[in-house]
Structure 1
Amino acid sequence: MKKIGSLLFFLSLFVCSVQAQDLLVYESESKLVWADFKGEPPKFDSAGARISTTIQMKAGKVNIWTGSTTYSAWGIMFPRHSWVKKEYKDDYTLNHEQLHFDISELVAKRLKIFINQQKVNSGKKVATEIFNRY
């Protein structure tokens, strides 16, 4: 039984590390490079490049006196769903795609400020509704 528990533990670590490689968390001191774009361009897409981004939010501390939860949020890029055509690998296009990623982070920061000002203490439903509005 102990061996099965150890095996499951290491398997979960492996799955987490594979999932972590499939996304890039926004860092203000790091800018995108073309190597971050690992997807294949679709044959019939007229765009020169595309970045796939989203925001993620996580519940953190819960105030034991008020029940309100503190949230964090951040921008995410999906490298395997982001791509560039060879003829568009230039600084202008990379800066344009970086701007999309910057906007994702800006929305995440605004979400974090807004939701924490609401002092959400009624659970997941209210937090999910606020997240979906953003």
Structure 2
Amino acid sequence: MNRAVRFGVFACTLLVTTCAVPGKLFAAPGIFGEKNIVVLQANDPEPVYAERLETIQVAGNQGEQVTYSKLVASAKEMAKKAKANIIKINAMKARSSANFCDHITATLYKAENPRVYETEFTWTPERRLTWDDFRGPVQPYSSDNIAAATFCAIGFETNTVSQNNPNLRVNVFNTFYTRKSWIREEEKGAEILAHEQGHFDLCELYTRKLRERMSNVNVDVANLRTTLKGIYAQLQQEYQDRQQRYEDETDHGLIYDAQHRWEAAITQELAQMEKWKDS
């Protein structure tokens, strides 16, 4: 088979209200920072073979501007104290006139292997992709020469900015989706996996670039959305172009010398952007 691989989607998650998310809850840097705690989203299945420990409430203080990622980071601290390694988000309420602060409800579980239940995670230097992370079905529209597909995304969230709260906080994150990423069983091999890791490493590299660009942005209530969208759109195009160059110059990972050169270059660039590895 003439093997080829395809890089993942690049998706924007733009939030300009505290903890309000379109469609589903998501994870952010810091949420998966601890090695052994998995966060499940509201629409993920219950971890049926895990031990259920307790249900917790996590809320911001009255008048405090918090993001979803900060709430889940707090939930992870509670999970560690309870010796839990799975957090299942059940519900979330954003601040309103009837609800003085944001809060989430979650259930804590303990499992022998929490990663069995994992549906998404963010990039970390100590965690390299394995074929166990590619759990999605082979898409019927995929041609036979596509061996694998990596789906990962870059997004960001902000706190609520208003006349009374003008200080902007931006949280930039990336996510790898296990249920969308897939591999043909007969094509599993070290070379293809290394190529897929390169796609995810590029995702992390441009996550750091986006953090850098948004770090000194000057916005107000009127221009917040358009300014951040503009910065994101520009980086998105650069990211997509770079991913395509990676595909073209390595011939989807089949030109091994080129693949090794790209891996070395990406590693060097990640080191140069070390300052921006955290949100």
After TM superposition, is the score higher than 0.5? yes
- Cα distance in 2 between the residues matched to 1:115 and 1:97: 27
1:46-65 matched pairs, under 5 angstroms: 46-59=145-158
Q: Say yes or no: does 1:39 pair with 2:140.
A: no
Secondary structure, aligned partner of 2:169? strand
Matched, 1:92 2:191: yes
Mapped to 1, the partners of 2:154 and 2:139 lie a distance apart of: 24
Aligned residue-pair number: 122
TM-score norm. by structure 1 comes to 0.74
Structure 2 counterpart of 1:127: 228
User: Which consecutive segments of 4 or more residues in structure 1 shift more than 6 A?
Assistant: none
Query: How far does the alpha carbon of each residue in 1:28-75 deviate from its partner, in whole angstroms, 9 at most, with x for none?
Result: 22111111111111344221111011102122597x9x9342322122
Which whole-Å CA distance do the structure 2 matches of 1:126 and 1:40 have between them?
38
**Contact 1:69–1:116 (Cα < 8 Å) also in 2:** no
Do 1:55 and 1:104's aligned partners in 2 also have CA atoms closer than 8 Å? yes
**Which whole-Å CA distance do the structure 2 matches of 1:95 and 1:60 have between them?**
37
Return the alpha-carbon distance in structure 1 between the equivalents of residues 198 and 219 of structure 2.
31
Q: Which runs of 5+ in 2 are unaligned?
A: 1-56, 58-88, 92-104, 107-116, 236-279
Question: Which structure 1 residue ranges, 5 or more long, are not aligned?
Answer: 1-8, 15-19
Query: CA–CA distance in 1 between the matches of 2:121 and 2:216?
Result: 27
**Displacement of 1:26:** 1.2
Give the C-alpha shift of residue 109 in structure 1. 0.6
